Amino acid sequence: MSKFYGYARVSTVEQSLEVQLQALVQAGAEDIYKDKATGKNTNRKGLKALLEILETGDTLIVTKLDRMARNVKEGIALIDDLTEKGIKLHVLNMGLFDDTATSKLLRNILLSVAEWEREMILERQKEGIAVAKANGKYKGKPKKYHDKNPAILHALELFSNRATNKKTVKEICQITKVSRASLYNIAKEKGII
């Protein structure tokens, strides 16, 4: 017996899937798979799990085509694979995609636009970072541990005095809650090791 599955995706963990989930339920999705990951490729946990259970006669519902892929090559391969297996693709803002020439044309155009849009976002982001760096306002990701952080100061003190305090690096990290990698990196920066 054929089933109706839904797939929802947002690019970051901060974004909400709620609007997509509601639309998919209203469209008749019985089981919904989701991801909070970039659409640049189709290597996503939720999508992979969904593709493994879809069978001939099933319908896959998505709110927009770019929820499945924002890459022309992988998007076309994915949709062609679904079509060849007899799985219907229902894109809520476009309709049912099948093996017709019109569906293929729409698929190619929409995936091209989605890929172009993603590349434009990345380009604008790079430009913004370059301007911020030029103005001295972009320093990159802030360091968790800095010279005035009490935990790292305590860890460095214990690390420097290991001969007298008999503490292992593991014990120092447990006491101060500073990771081993951070402790070694900062100790190197400070010339302690």
Task: Read off the pLDDT of residues 87-114 as tens digits, 9 standing for 90 and up.
Answer: 999 999 888 888 888 888 988 888 888 8
Q: Which of 11, 16, 103, 179 is catalytic?
A: 11
Global pTM reads 0.64
Of 60-64, 67-71, 125-129, where does the model show the most confidence?
Answer: 60-64
DSSP state of 51: H
Give the tens place of pLDDT for each residue, 109-156. 888 888 898 889 889 989 988 888 888 887 776 667 666 788 888 999
112 is catalytic: no
Q: Is 89 helix (H, G, I), strand (E, B) or coil?
A: strand
Locate the domains of the chain by residue range.
Answer: 4-118, 150-189
Q: Which of helix, strand or coil describes residue 1?
A: coil
DSSP state of 112: H
Best CATH choice for the domain 4-118 from the list 3.30.470.30, 1.20.1440.230, 3.40.50.1390, 3.40.50.300: 3.40.50.1390
**Contact between 41 and 74 (Cβ < 8 Å):** yes
Pairing relationship of beta strands 31-36 and 88-91 according to DSSP bridges: unpaired
